[in-house]
Amino acid sequence: MTTLAYRYHRFSTKSQDRGSSIERQDEVTLAMVKANGWTLAPGGPIEDRGRSAWKGDHLRSGGLGEFKARIDAGEIVPGSILVIENLDRLSRENVRKARRWIEEVTEAGIRVAVANLNKIFDENSLSGENIVDLIQYLLEAQRSNAESQRKSDMRAKVNANQIEKAQRGEIYSPRGPAWLIDINGKWAPNPERAAVVEQIYEWSASGLGYASICQRLNQMVPAWTRGWKSEKSEWKIGYVRDILTTHMVEGEYHRKAVGEDRDEIILGYYPRIVSADLVERARAAKIARRGTGGRSAAEARNLFAGRTVCAECNGAMEKVVNGNGRGRKYYYFLCRGARSGTCVNRLQYRYDIFEAAALEQMLHLSLDDTHFSKVEETAPLLARVADLRKEREQAQAKVNNLLDLIEAGSGSANLGGRLDAREAELAGLDQALAAAETELELARGKVSDEDHLKRVKEVREAMDSDDEDERQQARRLVRTAVQGLVERIVFARKKVSGGKYERRIIMTLVGLHTVLWFDGAGNVVRVRDHIDDYRNDPTNPLSRMMLLASGKDADTVGRSLNSQAERAAKTTVDS
């Protein structure tokens, strides 16, 4: 009869994951299985990574807990063997709990083989010669349990002290983010590295993904770290991802609360080096890029990736290429299900025609100031503004000190002259700060509505530029904007006659409650929107754009759009 062997491996801490703990256990347990001629159970070894035998949570959950549940459910055949390296892989819990777990397993007909002892425990042998080994193990487990409790109490006390120091803003550990330095026991930005972090966030906000950002960094900035398995210093995708997701750039310190699973959040432990606005834009752009990756992601060949679905099967639409036999290529949207034979919608929709029609309708709405931020200028300007604000704060403090001395009746004769000099310095700093903040606003893309329409037109033209870098940059910019505005694009068909179908593409915009219907030639055949909700609101961005584009008053624009929609509705085949 075949004896199934289930091997079990466990280690307690994440640091052991980098060592040889699992490899050693794998080698020892596999050798015992082969020596006894047992058959390895399907599915590979049972593993609990980063679970402590002292806490015993792996006995109730994790891989070992699931194995015990399968035993209780009768899914593990009696006579099977659980193979472990040593008894401490199972538990160092309370003696009674550990003994009860082993007894329950052996009573169910499952044997426990211990490689280091070269012993096999079953229900009968536990009352025979092997009982001495089990008692010795349980006594050792009890001692280890007490030691683990003592160490846990010490760690909890250290943890509490560290959190108290962090709450006071004091550095409790020399290990910190690579962009910060220790100045008199407080964290402060390293100006050059803080500017690099700002640049990473700006790149993310402008539409670049982790891989593209890594490529730029490796070309421009020496790497700050080196992987533990790598001898080469280089920027890695994982490190860039960590920078773009960490709370430390916002000044927050997250640490496990003492004795609890929740995080203790301490504000202001680190200095904020990325503005809240930039953090929000970068992470929103990252979310918007989900589903747009792939070999062509950096080129943004498909502006609508992740937003397109088939009306027939609700599956994704793919961008495919067809040739005309004369070297000319045409790109189409085609239902993925139709390609595999599971959807009846086999119509192809010209990509270039739809892209041009869609951008004509909504590009000026999707591109806002944030999409025109000049990433190469923003980081140094942010540093300049921060420095000026600090200088101004120090100058104001000096002015206040002099005023206090004068009010206190100090006899120094030159206090008045010193106060004049300090106030002149403060006025100069105010002027310099205002100029720097204006430059920063311009670098972040803030312009008038008229200039905004001009630059939108320039972006649209750049998308067709002969210069590859300019074209790709423009397309990435537009892709990020489109992903933030377009909620869903449905590709439908309408049967007309003789087995022929008309193409219909329905694009829904996020938040504006606007739906546009296009035919296969890119014509807008129907518009549905809630124009009455905002046509007379001059503060609404959409209203400003409509008025500016038409040069007419709000009522005229509203009537014109409504009449166009009515005419389109009369001639449209409802999809």
Range in 42-46, 356-360, 366-370, 571-575 the model is least confident about: 571-575
Q: Which residues of 517-546 are buried (b: 16+ CB within 10 A; e: fewer)?
A: bbbbebebbbbebebeebbeeeeeebbebb
Tokens in use for 455? 């630059």
How far CA 573 is from CA of 263, 496, 498, 508, 517, in Å, comes to: 56, 10, 17, 18, 10
Look at residue 390 and tell me whether its pLDDT is greater than 60. Answer: yes
Q: What is the mean pLDDT of residues 561-570?
A: 46
Q: What pLDDT shows up at residue 479?
A: 85
Among 15-19, 256-260, 555-559, where is mean pLDDT lowest?
Answer: 15-19
Q: What one-character-per-residue DSSP string does 353-379 give?
A: HHHHHHHHHHHHHH--GGGG--HHHHH
Q: Tell how strand 81-84 and strand 4-11 pair up.
A: parallel
* Distance in angstroms (rounded) separating the CA atoms of residues 32 and 116: 9
Interior/surface letters 348-373, b for 16+ CB within 10 angstroms, e for the rest = bbbbebbbebbbeebbbbbbeebbbb
Q: What is the pLDDT of residue 567?
A: 45
Instruction: Give Cα separations from 538 to 57, 546, 563 (angstroms).
Output: 61, 10, 21
Residue 193 to residue 273: CA distance in whole angstroms = 10
pLDDT at 564: 44
Q: Which two structure tokens, joined as six digits, stand for 127?
A: 């009352």
DSSP assignment of 187-205? EEE-HHHHHHHHHHHHHHH
- Three-state DSSP at 322 gives strand
The pLDDT, as a whole number, for residue 7 is: 93
Q: Name residue, tokens 């999809």.
A: 575
Distance CA 564, CA 562 (A): 5
347: pLDDT strictly greater than 90: yes
User: CA 92 to CA 56: how far, in whole Å?
Assistant: 7
Q: Around 467, how many Cα atoms within 13 Å sit in the side-chain half-sphere?
A: 6
Residue 229: CA atoms inside 13 Å, Cβ hemisphere, count? 4
Grade residue 384 by pLDDT with cuts at 50, 70 and 90: confident
Return the pLDDT at 506: 93
**Nearest-CA neighbor of 6 among 36, 40, 38, 37?**
40
Q: Which of 21-35, 108-122, 281-295 has the lowest mean pLDDT?
A: 281-295
Give the alpha-carbon dihedral of 62, 67, 72, 75, to 10 degrees: 140
Q: Please give the helix or strand (H or E) that residue 319 lies within, else none.
A: strand 317-323
Higher pLDDT, 141 or 400: 400
Greater pLDDT, 27 or 287: 27
Give mean pLDDT, residues 156-175: 74
Q: What is the pLDDT of residue 532?
A: 45
Tens of pLDDT, residues 491-509: 999 888 878 899 999 998 8
The pLDDT, as a whole number, for residue 348 is 94
Nearest Cα residue to 70 out of 96, 46, 89: 46
- The percentage of the chain sitting over the pLDDT mark of 90, rounded to a whole number, equals 19
Q: State which of 5-19, 28-42, 228-242 shows the largest mean pLDDT.
A: 28-42
* Residue 15 identity (one-letter amino acid): S
Q: What is the pTM assigned to this prediction?
A: 0.41
Best mean pLDDT range from 264-273, 381-390, 488-497 = 488-497
> Looking at residue 308, what is its pLDDT?
93
Helix (H, G, I), strand (E, B) or coil at 107: helix
Mean pLDDT across the chain, nearest whole number? 77
Beta carbons within 8 Å of 27's beta carbon, 6+ residues apart: none
d(Cα 558, Cα 531) in Å, to the nearest integer? Answer: 7
Give the pLDDT band (50/70/90) at residue 53.
very low
pLDDT at 45 over 80: yes
Residue at 125: amino acid letter: S
Per-position b or e across 38-57, b if 16+ CB within 10 A of its CB:
bebbeeebbbbbebbbbbbe
Q: What local confidence, expressed as pLDDT, does residue 321 receive?
A: 87
Which pLDDT does position 39 carry in this prediction? 92
For residue range 73-108, list pLDDT tens digits in order. Answer: 888 999 999 998 876 656 555 556 767 788 888 888
Determine the pLDDT at residue 420. 86
Q: Token pair of 491, please?
A: 């590709």
Q: What are the distances in angstroms from CA 357 to CA 72, 133, 247, 333?
A: 63, 80, 41, 15
pLDDT for the residue 356 = 92
Please state which of the ranges 119-123, 314-318, 375-379 shows the lowest mean pLDDT.
375-379
Cα(379)–Cα(549) distance, integer angstroms: 33
Could you give the C-alpha distances from 143 to 13, 88, 95, 148, in angstroms and in order? 20, 12, 10, 9
Burial class (CB in 10 A: 0-12, 13-18, 19+), 271: middle
Least confident of 49-63, 330-344, 545-559: 545-559
Beta-strand (E) ranges in 150-231? Answer: 180-183, 186-189
| Residues 200-204: contacts with CB under 8 Å, at least 24 apart | 200/240, 200/243, 200/244, 201/244, 201/249, 201/274, 201/278, 201/279, 201/281, 201/282, 202/278, 202/282, 202/373, 202/375, 202/378, 202/379, 203/375, 204/244, 204/282, 204/283, 204/285, 204/286
C-alpha–C-alpha distance, residues 91 and 19, integer Å = 21
- Edge-first strand order for the sheet with 349-350 is 317-323, 329-335, 349-350
**Considering only 122-131, 304-313, 402-411, which range has the smallest mean pLDDT?**
122-131
For residue 491, the surrounding DSSP H or E stretch is: strand 486-495
- Band the pLDDT of 158: cuts 50, 70, 90: low
